[in-house]
Amino acid sequence: MKSYFFRFSVMLIAISLCSITFAELKESSFTTGGESSKLEYGFALLGDFHFDRLGHHDMDWVKETHPGDVRQIENYSRVTKQNSRGLFESVSNSLKDQNISTFAIIQTGDFVEGLCGSYELQALQFKEAIAFVEPLTPSIPFLISKGNHDVTGPGAAKAYSDIIVPWLGKQLDTTITGTSYYVKHKSDLFIFFDAYRPDLDWLDEVLDQHPARHVFFIIHKPVVPYNARSQWHIFSKDKDRFKREKLLSLLGKYRTIVFGGHLHYYSVLRRKTDGGVFVQLAMNSVIDFDERKVELLEGVDKYTPELVDLEANFNTKTKHARRELLKKEKPFIDYFELAKTPCYSLIKVSDNYIDVDVRLRSSQSTWRQLRIERSTLNVINTGYHNRINKFTPKQLDGE
């Protein structure tokens, strides 16, 4: 077990589907010296990461079966080599600077690129991704939600179950048997939800049986669409509309903070439901070098069907349907901002607030500061710095 500086242990409850796991933190030795209502801690939030090396792939298989992904694999391998170490060093140093206990580093899926071509190569990619992360995040649990790239390719799903799932259990000092699980930390509930084998009955049960001060829901796919690819959220198909309504209702009822990725954008929005409201925060942590100032779309008036024009050449056959989805969603959105930029967030949790400090690329300087009020889930802009953030790349050793 990693040694932590906070109260931490776990209870695991397995259910019939092998893709589902519960985990709950138990009592240990950490004390804060304050009342439980005043407990405060921090964690880091990362979006898509896509750890990759060219040696992880059977490139003949990739060229034959996924020719359009060759350039993507080459790019992610380059980004991993040049930029990933700098990102994790910045995250680690930034967490140390917070001067509060650190719960975890949370990553919202697509931890690796996948598309390796065999079980053996996918297992190698997972093992090397873990070997990369662990030395850079000592004494901090690294917790992830399953992304589509994590299980794409021959043998990928089995390799994920064989390697990543046990590793997650190791972070929590327990045995995890599946890819949806929850963690109780202090007064709060963290739910890591498998968007590709979703079980809403399990989610309903977890939320009902584990009252919490703050509820965090970590999922790879967006729950609410927010950019040109508005058909890429969970339960987006018409046949799944009742499942989507149930998910939205649960998230609103329990006043949830949703963390996601998948679309490679930064976004924050607040969504109304019949049962209440929830906030969705999206990250993209594929760090590349681009020192231009970031254009931030800010204000609910920017949440319109015209968001599809951000990618004018993307699948023009579905443009009308994507516009209609955004048009249908718009009446329920009462806070919105969006930027196409790599970033990560430092999040501080206290009794009445969740403070979000967004940092561009691998910078240790704040770009965006937001506060989410516990009582209302109102999102308040407490700081914005649209400046150029420069940093020096630190390459990985080897391919």
Domain 11-384 has CATH 3.40.50.300: no
Res 262: pLDDT: 97
pLDDT digits (tens, 9 = 90+) for 89-122: 999 999 988 888 999 999 999 999 999 999 999 9
Helices (H), the chain: 59-65, 70-97, 119-136, 156-159, 165-172, 200-209, 241-253, 319-329
Q: Residue 298, SS3?
A: strand
Whose CA is closest to 44, among 114, 95, 98? 95
The tokens describing 3, both together, are: 């040694």
Report which of residues 371 and 35 the model is more confident about: 371
Task: Find all residues with CB under 8 Å of 252, minimum gap 6, and list them.
Answer: 271, 272, 273, 274, 275, 276, 277, 278
* Structural domain spans, the chain: 11-384
- The pLDDT of residue 40 is 87
3-state secondary structure of 369: strand
Q: State the angle between helix axes of 119-136 and 70-97 in degrees (0 to 180), rounded to the nearest 10.
A: 20
The backbone torsions φ and ψ at residue 83, rounded to the nearest 5 degrees and listed phi first, read -120, -20
Residue at 206: amino acid letter: V
- Encoded tokens for 278: 């929830």
What band does 176 get if pLDDT is binned at 50, 70 and 90?
confident
3-class SS at 332? helix
Cα–Cα distance, 15 to 11 (Å, whole number): 13
Instruction: Grade residue 289 by pLDDT with cuts at 50, 70 and 90.
Output: low
Is the pLDDT at 18 greater than 60, yes or no?
no
Looking at the chain, the whole-number percentage of residues with pLDDT higher than 70 is 86
Which positions ≥6 away from 167 have C-beta within 8 Å? 130
Question: What is the C-alpha separation between 51 and 109, in angstroms, rounded?
Answer: 11
Q: What is the reported pLDDT for 294?
A: 87
Written as six digits, the tokens of 253 are 């009822």
